């Protein structure tokens, strides 16, 4: 009976997902970072042609967090999806965020949180990569 319940439960989750996998991953990443002492100041910050998943504060540092969520590692590690083009886009978005909020003088960095959340697990595996990459572009954060 327990096996039947597990099969039916998995089948129903696939048919009627409560939240898209990416959003669930972002929520799990935010909870994880809060437990580490980060203060989350923005979720899904949209400006122009993109979105910053999470903006957090770690001490006095503004942290731009890219969250990548996958059900498995079959297509590679989630963090591998943050390629050079994505890093350039994130750098532009972060610079716009810092300008918009008058934070250009604050130290800033980019973290990646990789979330692997298999269908049959209640909790994900979360890996945090602080300072995952430097600001990318012609002048980085200096415009």
Residue pLDDT, tens place only, 30-81 = 999 999 999 999 998 887 778 999 999 999 999 999 999 998 888 889 899 9
Query: Do the domain assignments include residue 77?
Result: yes
Tokens read off for 70: 């996958």
If we measure between CA atoms, which residue out of 21, 101, 114 comes closest to residue 68?
Answer: 114
- In a 13 Å sphere around the CA of 1, the CA atoms on its Cβ side amount to 0
Which domain does 63 fall in, by range? Answer: 19-133
Mean pLDDT value across residues 127-136? 94
Query: Do the domain assignments include residue 52?
Result: yes
Query: Do the domain assignments include residue 25?
Result: yes
pTM for this one?
0.81
Query: Do the domain assignments include residue 121?
Result: yes
Q: How confident is the model at residue 114 (pLDDT cuts 50, 70, 90)?
A: very high
Q: Please tell me the total count of domains within the chain.
A: 1
Q: What is the pLDDT at residue 143?
A: 45
């Amino acid at each position: 009976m327990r096996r039947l319940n597990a099969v039916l439960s998995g089948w129903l989750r696939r048919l009627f997902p409560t939240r898209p996998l990416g959003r669930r991953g972002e929520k799990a990443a935010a909870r994880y970072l809060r437990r580490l002492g980060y203060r989350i100041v923005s979720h899904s910050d949209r400006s122009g042609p993109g979105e910053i998943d999470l903006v957090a504060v770690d001490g006095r540092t503004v942290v731009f967090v890219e969250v990548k969520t996958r059900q498995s590692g079959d297509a590679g590690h989630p963090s591998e999806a943050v390629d050079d083009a994505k890093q350039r886009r994130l750098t532009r978005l972060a610079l716009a965020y810092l300008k918009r909020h008058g934070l250009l003088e604050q130290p800033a960095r980019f973290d990646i949180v990789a979330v692997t959340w298999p269908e049959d697990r209640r909790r994900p595996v979360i890996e945090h990569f602080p300072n995952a990459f430097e600001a990318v572009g012609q002048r980085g954060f200096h415009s």
